[in-house]
């Protein structure tokens, strides 16, 4: 790969005028993805913000085929498309699912597990922005501990930690799964390339900036995404057949508060009576990181 290719889009595969909000993760995520996957790709889109961003009829934001499908069954729809393309000799085409966290962690979970268990030759891309943003910021099982949403408002902020999707998908023993950040483009692009070249079921989970949902400044989307990695709120790692490899080790310990304080959805945690929640988040993040270190060690020791 050329040096410039490591972080630059050489050939743009997304049209201008996409309908995402300012600072939305989807826009940048799909530009890099589509530039690497190429036009010989069928994107399968369940209900999500991307259903809108991809373009209302008769528009198509991406240079590629796009199939909008029902919320709960994008991997199943993609299974049918994959089978039909294979039968027509189009085995070189990529079939990629573009879903949000609601369509992945919640309503589409069974269909995801089914496709992963069957070893379908599909690339699953989840833009995890931690809530049902398209319907207006409702709690999903990906919503972080401590966040407020319209269905966990005020003092009833979310008091459970998100589902460990990466752990669950890794347990399906798939050939490739990775977390990605839009602040680490070289890493993201390498993972797209790797996912494209791998046969079988692959999953990429991207930390999705969402200014309206996270109550953030759109201009800060990338720097907040960077802070999420530096604080280990969103560690970068990849899993190949249950073997874990951490891709980025923060050079110094940055407390989670540095990332949370920039997001309005966590503002209430900085009042005296709620500060205990910050400690709980820090403890959880530390223990998850420790677990990743152990998993990595376990994966590669002789």
Partner 1 sequence: MNNVTTNDSLNTKTTSGKSYARHVQKILKGNYAAAEGAKLARAGFIPAYPITPQTTIVEELSNKVATKELDATYINMDSEHSVFAAAMGAAIAGERVFTATSGQGLFYAHEVLHAIAHFRLPVVICNVGRPSIPWNIWSDQTDSLAQRDTGWVQFYGESSQEVLDSIIQAYIISEELDLPVMVVLDAFYQSHTSENVWVPEQSLVDEFLPPKKLKGGEIDVDHPKAFGGLIAPDKYETFNYRYWVDINKVEDLANKVGEEFGKHFGRKYSAVEAYNITPETKLVLVTISSITSTARGLLPRYPEVGLLKLRLIKPFPKKSVLKALEPLSEDASIVTIERNFLGDKEGALMMEMKRALYGERNIKMYDVYTGLGGKDVPPRTIEKIIVKTLEAPEEISWIDLE
Residue 263 in contact with partner 1, rule: CB under 8 A: no
Report CA-CA distances (Å) from 176 to 27, 41, 113, 189, 242.
24, 19, 14, 15, 9
Comparison of 75 and 146: residue with beta carbon closer to partner 1: 75
Residue 56 in contact with partner 1, rule: CB under 8 A: yes
6, 22, 60, 250: which one binds partner 1 (CB under 8 A): 60
Spatial distance between the Cα atoms of 181 and 227, rounded to a whole number of angstroms: 10
For residue 104, give the DSSP letter.
Answer: I
Q: Read off the tokens for 284.
A: 């959880």
Q: Read off the tokens for 156.
A: 């009833």
Spatial distance between the Cα atoms of 290 and 157, rounded to a whole number of angstroms: 26
23, 24, 32, 41: which one binds partner 1 (CB under 8 A): 41
Identify which range of 75-83, 152-160, 166-174, 210-218 contacts partner 1 by CB under 8 A: 75-83
Residue 17 in contact with partner 1, rule: CB under 8 A: no
Q: Are 99 and 124 in contact (CB under 8 A)?
A: yes
Site track for partner 1 across 90-109, x = CB under 8 A: x--x----------------
Q: Are 50 and 127 in contact (CB under 8 A)?
A: yes
Residue 51 in contact with partner 1, rule: CB under 8 A: yes
Report CA-CA distances (Å) from 266 to 53, 273, 292.
27, 13, 25
Spatial distance between the Cα atoms of 102 and 198, rounded to a whole number of angstroms: 26
Site for partner 1 in 106-165 (CB under 8 A): 110-111, 113-114, 117-118
Closest CB 248 distance from partner 1, rounded Å: 34
Q: Read off the tokens for 259.
A: 């990332």
40, 135, 156, 276: which one binds partner 1 (CB under 8 A): 40
Binding footprint of partner 1 on the chain (CB under 8 A): 39-42, 44, 51-52, 54-60, 62-70, 72-88, 90, 93, 110-111, 113-114, 117-118
């Amino acid at each position: 790969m050329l040096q410039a290719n490591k972080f630059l889009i050489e050939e743009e595969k997304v049209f201008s005028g996409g309908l995402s909000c300012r600072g939305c993760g989807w826009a940048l995520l799909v530009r890099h993805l589509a530039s690497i996957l190429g036009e010989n790709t069928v994107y399968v889109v369940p209900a999500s913000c991307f259903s809108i961003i991809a373009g209302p009829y008769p528009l198509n934001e991406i240079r590629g085929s796009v199939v909008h499908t029902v919320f709960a069954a994008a991997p199943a729809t993609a299974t049918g498309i994959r089978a039909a393309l294979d039968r027509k000799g189009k085995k070189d085409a990529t079939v990629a699912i573009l879903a949000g966290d609601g369509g992945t962690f919640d309503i589409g979970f069974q269909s995801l597990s089914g496709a992963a268990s069957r070893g379908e030759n599909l690339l699953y891309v989840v833009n995890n922005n931690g809530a049902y943003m398209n319907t207006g910021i409702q709690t999903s099982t990906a919503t972080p501990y401590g966040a407020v949403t319209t269905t966990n408002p005020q003092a009833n902020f979310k008091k459970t930690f998100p589902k460990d999707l990466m752990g669950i998908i890794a347990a399906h023993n798939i050939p490739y799964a990775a977390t990605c950040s839009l602040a680490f483009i070289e890493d993201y692009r390498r993972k797209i390339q790797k996912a494209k070249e791998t046969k079988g079921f692959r999953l990429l989970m991207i930390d999705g900036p969402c200014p309206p949902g996270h109550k953030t400044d759109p201009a800060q989307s990338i720097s907040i995404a960077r802070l999420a990695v530096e604080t280990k709120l969103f560690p970068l790692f990849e899993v190949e057949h249950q073997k874990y490899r951490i891709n980025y080790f923060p050079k110094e310990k940055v407390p989670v508060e540095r990332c949370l304080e920039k997001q309005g959805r966590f503002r209430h945690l900085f009042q005296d009576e709620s500060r205990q929640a910050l400690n709980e988040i820090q403890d959880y993040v530390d223990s998850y990181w420790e677990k990743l270190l152990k998993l990595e060690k376990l994966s590669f020791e002789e």
